[in-house]
Amino acid sequence: MDRFIPAYIAAKDNGRLLKKISQARSILGSCVLCPRQCKVDRLSDEKGICRTGRLALVSSYNPHFGEEAPLVGRHGSGTIFFTHCNLLCNFCQNYDISHEGWGNEVSDDELASIMISLQDKGCHNINFVTPTHVVPQILSALNIAIEKGLHIPLVYNSSGYDSVAALKLLDGIFDIYMPDFKFWDSRIAESTCDAADYPQIARQALVEMHRQVGDLATDSSGIAQRGLLVRHLVLPENLAGTREIMRFIRTSITPGTYVNIMSQYRPCGTAQTTPGLSRSITVEEFRAAIVAAKEEGISRLDRNR
């Protein structure tokens, strides 16, 4: 079997990557990179909701073995956790990173070196966690990393609160998208994230991601090479709207979408301020979510761990 070649290699060779870097950087001058549309001058280190200026911040990076089965394989997914976030869920399980800002600024060269170090450890992919607000920095670092020999797939691991315009900058760069679809009800999105438009934004984002990369494809060992994976965290009292989200995936994307229905919700951060979120989910609630997914025609589910 021929070795898989990530899309970004061709983008580098034909000059498209450099054009995308220029386009992405220009957005930072009056930042409308994400749906928040803060319009601050991040090139001058002004900071909006994501509290990130010219440089990206990284909280940690390592081979990760708790991700989806097609990403983990034998050697792990090479996760890079970016500090801060553009969505800021009040129940975030990485609250110290997303809300409190634990992490350090990294230059493009340093970020590129992190990618190479993870590849050298045998990781099957580079998994950018919470990348939405640092797309320009990722693209700039990628250009350097390719010159240093990067050759494994990139994973865009986001909250789903991504603008279509920003995602189009990544067309032909990322082979794997792994967004959340968190809430179907705009009232829940408003109360937890101050983002009533989240359901609409996420629907548009997932459709665009699938347009770019299609259904998840794996190699002979089951390792992801290209495609869409969708994460959905089950919330107490069905606050996430699991059935409606699964129906949308089947009817507006494809029944072949790979979905991870997750059971690990627990009240973190300031979750207690939202009615219904002050407790973990029950076994019955999780089982009901799995049943709903299957009844809506979603059968390609990540294994329950």
| Mean pLDDT rounded to a whole number for the chain | 96
pLDDT in tens, 48-104: 999 999 999 999 999 999 999 999 999 999 999 999 999 999 999 999 999 999 999
Q: Could you tell me which of 156, 157, 78 has the C-alpha nearest to residue 122?
A: 78
Find, among 247, 250, 158, the residue nearest to 202 by Cα.
158
Whole-number pLDDT of residue 231: 98
> Residue ranges per domain, the chain?
7-295
Give the Cα separation of 121 and 127 in Å (integer): 14
Report field, pTM of the whole predicted structure over 0.85: yes
Residue 303 confidence (pLDDT): 78
Strand 77-82 versus strand 104-106 pairing type: unpaired
pLDDT digits (tens, 9 = 90+) for 165-203: 999 999 999 999 999 999 999 999 999 999 999 999 999
Options 3.90.650.10, 3.20.20.70, 2.30.110.10, 3.40.50.1360; which CATH number does 7-295 get?
3.20.20.70
Summary count for the chain: helices (H), strands (E): 11, 9
300-305: long-range pairs with CB below 8 Å, 24+: 300/216, 300/256, 300/257, 300/258, 300/259, 301/258, 301/259, 301/260, 301/261, 302/68, 302/69, 302/229, 302/258, 302/259, 302/260, 302/261, 303/69, 304/263, 305/66
Q: Which residue has the tokens 């869920």?
A: 89
Q: Which of 195, 209, 190, 200 is nearest to 248 (CA)?
A: 200
Q: What pLDDT does 3 receive?
A: 81
d(CA 86, CA 208): 19
Average pLDDT of span 122-137: 98
Which structure tokens are listed for 132? Answer: 């939405």
Q: Tens digits of per-residue pLDDT, 202-261?
A: 999 999 999 999 999 999 999 999 999 999 999 999 999 999 999 999 999 999 999 999
User: What is the pLDDT at residue 128?
Assistant: 98
pLDDT-based confidence at residue 1 (cuts at 50, 70, 90): very low
305 pLDDT above the threshold of 80: no
Q: Coil, helix or strand for 121?
A: coil
Q: What is the pLDDT of residue 304?
A: 64
